[in-house]
Amino acid sequence: MQVRVITMKYNEAQQGFPEEALQRATFGREVLSVNEHFFMFGNVPHLTLVLTLGDAPHYDNAESFRKRDPNAPDPETLIPESAIPYYRALKKWRNDTAKDEGRPAYAIARNTQFVELVKAAPKTPALRSKRRRTWRSSIGR
């Protein structure tokens, strides 16, 4: 178990606390607990987080996770134009689910996985229905 303390100063331009330090501290680690302490210093809001982290790196899919290359093309450019609405719907579902569950979006699915799904999508309604039943049963929903 590891304990990390992070203090963030309110950023007026951002209208919030910057998340970069928190993301760096928790990247790939299971967060076991968080205690927060809000305080004012010099009339500026500050937030201190005391994080208890698990010992080992934690990924929902550790085998396939890797940091995205910032120079890589946008995954959306890799799919046919007719499939873009499906791709965007998958991303919206993933982002909404991540927000509701308090998890990072990449822990649910990566954009490249959605590209693969959209490219492999069945072309007929009957095949789509069969794939949907199979997919739902595989994720347990």
DSSP 69-94: PTTSPPGGGGS-GGGHHHHHHHHHHH
CATH class, 2-56 region: alpha beta
What pLDDT does 133 receive? 59
The Cα-based distances of 27 to 44, 54, 56 in angstroms read 27, 11, 11
Cα–Cα distance measured from residue 86 to residue 88, given in angstroms and rounded to the nearest whole number: 5
Q: Show me where the domains of the chain are located.
A: 2-56, 75-139
What pLDDT does 58 receive? 53
Q: 91, 44 in Cβ contact below 8 A?
A: no
Give the mean model confidence (pLDDT) for residues 31-58. 84
pTM of the model: 0.42
What pLDDT does 127 receive? 62
What pLDDT does 68 receive? 64
Share of the chain above pLDDT 70, in %: 77
Which among 41, 46, 55, 43 is positioned nearest to 21, based on CA atoms? 46
Whether the predicted pLDDT of 40 surpasses 70: yes
3 state SS of 101: helix
Neighbours of 32 (CB within 10 A): 13
